[in-house]
Amino acid sequence: MPVSPDKNPATDPARAPAADNDVGAQATTHFGFKTVDEAEKAGLVKGVFNSVADQYDIMNDVMSAGVHRIWKNSLIDSINPRPGMHLLDVAGGTGDIAFRFMAAAPGSTVTVCDINAEMLRVGAERAAKKGYADRSEFVCGDAMKLPFGDRSMDAYTIAFGIRNVTRIEEALAEAYRVLKPGGRFHCLEFSPAVVSVLQGAYDAYSFKFIPAMGQMVAQDRDSYQYLVESIRRFPTPEKFDQMISSVGFSRTNWRSMSAGVVAIHSGTKV
Ligand SMILES: C[S@@+](CC[C@H](N)C(=O)[O-])C[C@H]1O[C@@H](n2cnc3c(N)ncnc32)[C@H](O)[C@@H]1O
C-alpha cells in the first residue's frame, strides 16, 4: 500500500489530521489517517468494500445497535417520496436506501450506482429476494463520473458514501449535472465530531469497539479501522454545506442527528 510514513494517530484520535478542505487540488489525499496518492484511493476503498460486502449489513446493525435504520428512514423522509419518482442512489452498496425508498413510494424506481461490484452483487440479490428486481437496477460507476445523462434524475441520494470518494467536489458537481431542474440532492453522512460532552466516549467507541467488532464479526479489523478514521477526515457539516452550495445547489440545509454523530444534507437544483 503506497502510504506515507505518517505517525498513526489511531490510538489517539485527538491527533487525527484535520479534514481536507481542498481535496481536489492535491496529488495526494487521505485514506483514513494515511496519506496516499490520489490515484490509489479508489482501489484502496474498493478493497475495503470487497472485503466487507457479505458481512456489511449485519455489521451496520452491530456497529450502530440498529440506529442506522432510524438515520436511513430520516433520509427517506427528507426526500418526500412520491409515486412514480425515479431516484438515483449513489454509493448505494447493498441497496438499503433503495429498498426503503421503493417501500415509501409506490410505483417508484431506483438506480443504485456503486463503484464496487461485490456490494452491488449483494444488493441485487437482496432486491430479488425482496421483490424489487423489476423496479431497480444496479449499475457499476464512480460518483465522480456518473454514467448517466444530464438532467435525468428526480432525486439523488448518497448515504455513508461520499466520505469515501477521492474528490468530493467532483461527486457533488456530478450530482448537480444528473438532477433534473427542481431535483434535490440528499446526503446522509457521519460528522467528524459529536457534542463535546460525549466526545471521549465516542472516541473510545470508534477506535476500540468498532475495529474489534470488525475483527470478530467480519474477520477484518483494518477495514473497520479505515471506516472510523475516514469519518474523522470528513468535513464538518458547516463546511460540507458550503461545498454543496459551491457547485450550484440552492436552498441547502442540514440537520444533525444523534448528538452530532450523523447529519443529513440537502440542496436543490434550480
Ligand atoms: C459505507 S457503504 C454505504 C452503502 C449504502 N449507501 C448504505 O448506506 O448502506 C459506502 C459505499 O460507497 C461505495 N463507494 C466508495 N467510493 C465510491 C465512488 N467513488 N463511487 C461510487 N461508490 C463509491 C462503496 O463501494 C460502498 O458500497
- What values do phi and psi take at 80, rounded to 5? 55, 65
pLDDT for position 27: 81
Give distance in angstroms: CA of 119 to centre of ligand 1. Answer: 8
Is 13's pLDDT higher than 90?
no
Give every CB contact of residue 134 below 8 A, 6+ residues apart in sequence: none
Query: Any idea what DSSP says for residue 84?
Result: T
Q: Domain count for the chain, please give it.
A: 1
Is 48's pLDDT higher than 70?
yes
Is 26's pLDDT higher than 80?
no
Give distance in angstroms: CA of 262 to centre of ligand 1. Answer: 16
Residue 5 included in any domain? no
State whether the beta carbon of 229 lies less than 6 angstroms from ligand 1. no
Residue 3 included in any domain? no
| d(C-alpha 90, C-alpha 143), whole Å | 6
**Domain that includes residue 51, residue range:** 21-190+197-268
Which residue's CA is minimally distant from atom 1 of ligand 1? 160
pLDDT for position 25: 52
Torsion of CA 50, 56, 62, 64, to 10 degrees: 100
Residue 9 included in any domain? no
Q: What is the pLDDT of residues 120-157, one digit of tens each?
A: 999 999 999 999 999 999 999 999 999 999 999 999 99
| d(C-alpha 133, C-alpha 122), whole Å | 13
Q: Give the whole-number percent of the chain exceeding pLDDT 90.
A: 87
Give distance in angstroms: CA of 164 to centre of ligand 1. Answer: 7
Residue 12 included in any domain? no
- What values do phi and psi take at 146, rounded to 5? -70, 135
User: In 140-196, where does DSSP find H-type helix?
Assistant: 168-178
Residue 41 included in any domain? yes
Instruction: Give the rounded distance of the alpha carbon of 20 from its chain centre.
Output: 17
116's grid cell: 464496487
Q: Which residue has the higher pLDDT, 5 or 243?
A: 243
Residue 14 included in any domain? no
State whether the beta carbon of 13 lies less than 6 angstroms from ligand 1. no
Residue 138 included in any domain? yes
Q: Which atom of ligand 1 is nearest to the CA of 116?
A: 25
Give distance in angstroms: CA of 93 to centre of ligand 1. Answer: 5
State whether the beta carbon of 116 lies less than 6 angstroms from ligand 1. yes
Residue 153 included in any domain? yes
Q: What's the whole-number average pLDDT of the chain?
A: 91
For the range 17-22, what are the long-range contacts, defined as Cβ-Cβ under 8 Å and sequence gap of 24 or more? 17/233, 19/192, 19/232, 19/233, 19/234, 19/235, 19/236, 19/239, 20/233, 20/235, 21/235, 21/239
Is 22's pLDDT higher than 60?
no
Angle at 145 between CA 139 and CA 151, to 5 degrees: 80
State whether the beta carbon of 220 lies less than 6 angstroms from ligand 1. no
CATH of the domain at 180: 3.40.50.150
Q: What is the pLDDT of residues 102-113, one digit of tens each?
A: 999 999 999 999
Kindly list the distances between the CA atom of residue 138 and the CA atoms of 70, 130, 143, 213, in Å, as whole numbers in the listed order: 24, 15, 14, 29
Give distance in angstroms: CA of 225 to centre of ligand 1. Answer: 16
At residue 222, the 3 state secondary structure works out as: helix
Question: Predicted confidence band at 7 (pLDDT cuts at 50, 70, 90)?
Answer: very low
Q: Got the DSSP string for 51-81?
A: HHGGGHHHHHHHHHTTHHHHHHHHHHHHH--
Give every CB contact of residue 123 below 8 A, 6+ residues apart in sequence: 92, 93, 94, 95, 98, 112, 114, 138
